[in-house]
A and B are shown apart, each in its own frame.
Chain A
Amino acid sequence: EPEVTQTPSHQVTQMGQEVILRCVPISNHLYFYWYRQILGQKVEFLVSFYNNEISEKSEIFDDQFSVERPDGSNFTLKIRSTKLEDSAMYFCASSGPGGGLETQYFGPGTRLLVL
């Protein structure tokens, strides 16, 4: 069964450093998402991406964040200058042509720890 994959599974970085989280969505999906989950907290939406541009973003997704689909398969989340409060589990998800009306399939997540 097709699945969303994410790399790395864990990342430890120093405050102020840039990190790039990578995702490979399901191949025929058109909508891509990033979410985060701070330990013990709710899953929070960050950004959605369709047709090579951001379609929605939350107030969390400020200028420190950016997303890119550099080729036909990868979808990345970049955090330019990490802060301690960026420590969280980051999930990528994708869905088919119906976008938000369809089931979103989540990857296993990247656990980011900022020291």
Chain B
Amino acid sequence: KQEVTQIPAALSVPEGENLVLNCSFTDSAIYNLQWFRQDPGKGLTSLLLIQSSQREQTSGRLNASLDKSSGRSTLYIAASQPGDSATYLCASSGGSYIPTFGRGTSLIVHP
């Protein structure tokens, strides 16, 4: 059974810092890995989707990488802003295409 772990659980940084969120998964036989953002009491917003054949995806200040062999993905946020404050979830999809979610990293970017 796939297990997804996210480290750190919480992170507080000053505005402008570059930061890395980590996600690890136990079963490397995945089809894709998706990063989401969740604001308090809200739904999930998809940030980046990396297919198993890809190594990374970029969108604006966000870059996500995938290393299937080591069971890891990272989300890199450049020049963080207070508006980036949210919980970031990663989810890996395996044989049935059903995503397994991690608990998330709660990020606070203070001015």
Interface residues of A (CB under 8 A from B): 4, 41-45, 48, 56, 58, 91, 93, 99-109, 111
Given the interface pairs A48-B98, A103-B49, A104-B99, the reply to whether A43 lies near B93 with Cβ below 8 Å is: no
By beta carbon, the residue of chain A nearest B89 is: A43
Q: Which of the 9-residue segments B16-24, B39-47, B78-86 touches chain A?
A: B39-47
Interface residues of A: mostly helix, strand, loop or mixed?
mixed
Chain B contact patch, size range: 20 to 34
Interface residues of B: mostly helix, strand, loop or mixed?
strand
Kindly provide the distance from the CB of A38 to the nearest chain B CB, expressed in whole angstroms.
Answer: 12
Interfacial chain B residues near A104, Cβ < 8 Å: 34, 46, 99
Interfacial chain B residues near A103, Cβ < 8 Å: 34, 46, 49
8 pairs of A and B residues whose beta carbons are closest in the complex: A100-B97, A106-B44, A43-B101, A108-B43, A106-B43, A103-B46, A103-B49, A42-B101
